[in-house]
Structure 1
């Protein structure tokens, strides 16, 4: 066992603990009628995309998700939420400094006492979901579980589905796969992006992610016998047929999409092991991107 695999395995228990903060999350993320911006980098940006879709779909107000490094204060928001596990990511801190005065700023983080605390009026602290790993797993999934609960989703099945995903067979033999395509629709597009990132980070493998219906608008051209096409949520069954017609292995199941992400994380680790890689020491990556020089 390495740190990353232990943290993946801990997710159902951590989600259950996280759901105890639903009332606080509702106050920070679910205020009806407010126009909200959610910022993040890497994994946190993909989580932001999912939360933005979930919040709007719940009828709580217009919600945008922007990569923190691309933030420009052109639009007016009532509330800006910054997701940063470490509380130290330079681009997130720089973006928060640009938020106009009078806008309520919220930090969603796993570590107290870091620079992000001085730039936010309120904080949602998930220190029990913090990770030793560079590769994020349980922190982002706990943030998403908590946001879903805050927006009124029924998650009574989530812990059981997550536990089942820890025991489920992998979707393919890692030795037979060197190209992965993750598909999602609605809020699970963000999950697809996150799953593809896990494969790149942990296994240094070729992975892509798309809104599901876009798969046939070009990406299917590179799918073949050593491809795995993995669908999150309610992706049309016809896309499995398109993948199989290209020679690819296709996978889907009926568990909660966060549990499906657990299975994708496990596959990323299995692929890393097959390639002789240590997921706790991903190539060229650090726990937090802290820039010391001007870019």
Structure 2
């Protein structure tokens, strides 16, 4: 797992290089020729970490490209499929291309499309394995190019899934003119800076994360808070803690946490808060203030531009480089991955073989 966390800058660079060309990024890319010209809605299917990548993409696709987007767990989709109308793009996301419930959901959607005679609909897959059952099911594949991921807890495949979805979002926003050309190129530039910024997080924040992990290892429960584009990162961070440390961790939208779940707080239940300098900042910091009122330790994942007054209410802070607020999930997930890893090590657990979990691996023949 640690090896694959540290491979993220390299694989992200490989993935971005595949989708971003030097001369005219995105707009003329043949990778997206399958998209319906009158796209009406997007459905995203996935499980676990892949579903969380889909939730980040939902925020991007709706807020940047202006396209109505719904995300459903693949297993839930089987009994409650999303309504399919003309010009729907369905995206199935799976690391291996062999995840059983995601495959079943994709096949069900394909059959549904045939029965409804919605010939303008498209079904695509985002996967790490271009030669897989998913590839044989969908109309088109967008590879994430992360290389083999052996660790059960997905890390580098999550980051590269985000990269493909971010590039797709910018492409759609450019085509449908929901953002200016200047804004499009600004996002592309920021995407290209991300591998170096992730490398700096891995290099500069390791010691403080290990120190925090020593204390977090004593906890039985943990809360992870995010808001806006980082709401799904709170869910993914909590999942990583559950998978690797066996700590009962729950992720919440920071604002929604105050409407009931706040009753869970006790002084021995740490809270990890993603506090980014974006449009959700005031709501997150307001929730953190209310959390601190209950004498709860707060670990902040922050950026260098956070006001010093806000930092004073945090018991610990992990500071990230600045980036475009839409792209902050690429950075905020990294300390959560490391925190899960080092906390599990502190608890004496086998990080690469967590109990009760199996991972589908597809290793190409040599």
Assess if the C-alpha contact under 8 Å between 2:142 and 2:164 holds in 1: no
What is the TM-score normalised by the length of structure 2?
0.72
The answer to whether structure 1 residue 73 and structure 2 residue 106 are counterparts is no
Flag structure 2 segments of 5+ consecutive residues without an equivalent.
Answer: 20-25, 171-186, 304-319, 321-327, 362-366
The answer for the alignment partner of 2:306 in structure 1 is none
Q: Deviations over 1:137-169 (max 9, x none)?
A: 010111112322332333244223211221312
The answer to whether structure 1 residue 117 and structure 2 residue 135 are counterparts is yes
What is the TM-score normalised by the length of structure 1?
0.89
1:45 to 48, 51, 60: 51
The answer for the alignment partner of 1:161 in structure 2 is 197
| Correspondences of 1:279-290 after superposition (within 5 Å) | 279-288=351-360
Q: Deviations over 1:170-193 (max 9, x none)?
A: 186223222322222222211111
Q: Deviations over 1:77-109 (max 9, x none)?
A: 511110011111111111112112233110111
Mapped partners of 1:258, 1:30: distance in 2: 28
Assess if the C-alpha contact under 8 Å between 1:180 and 1:230 holds in 2: no
Q: Deviations over 1:202-257 (max 9, x none)?
A: 11112111111012222233233331322154443122212222222231211333
Mapped partners of 1:89, 1:20: distance in 2: 27
1:83 to 66, 69, 93: 93
What is the CA RMSD across the aligned residues, in angstroms? 2.3
The answer for the alignment partner of 2:252 in structure 1 is 210
| Correspondences of 1:1-295 after superposition (within 5 Å) | 4-22=1-19, 23=26, 26-27=32-33, 33-71=39-77, 72-77=80-85, 78-99=88-109, 100-101=113-114, 102=119, 103-152=121-170, 153=187, 154-167=190-203, 168=205, 169-170=208-209, 173-177=212-216, 178=219, 179-226=221-268, 227-231=270-274, 233=276, 234=278, 235=281, 236-246=284-294, 247-254=296-303, 255=320, 256-288=328-360
Assess if the C-alpha contact under 8 Å between 1:41 and 1:67 holds in 2: yes
Assess if the C-alpha contact under 8 Å between 2:5 and 2:337 holds in 1: yes
Assess if the C-alpha contact under 8 Å between 2:15 and 2:145 holds in 1: no
User: Aligned in 2, Cα 1:109/1:161: closer, same or farther, shift over 3 Å?
Assistant: same
Mapped partners of 1:187, 1:36: distance in 2: 18
Higher Cα Rg: structure 1 or 2? 2
Mapped partners of 1:29, 1:137: distance in 2: 28
Q: Deviations over 1:8-59 (max 9, x none)?
A: 0111121111112324565567977341101001111111111111111113
168-177 or 280-289, which moves further after superposition? Answer: 168-177
Number of equivalent positions = 286
Mapped partners of 1:73, 1:96: distance in 2: 10
130-139 or 178-187, which moves further after superposition? Answer: 178-187
Mapped partners of 2:38, 2:302: distance in 1: 33
Assess if the C-alpha contact under 8 Å between 2:39 and 2:89 holds in 1: no
Assess if the C-alpha contact under 8 Å between 1:230 and 1:251 holds in 2: yes
87-96 or 152-161, which moves further after superposition? Answer: 152-161
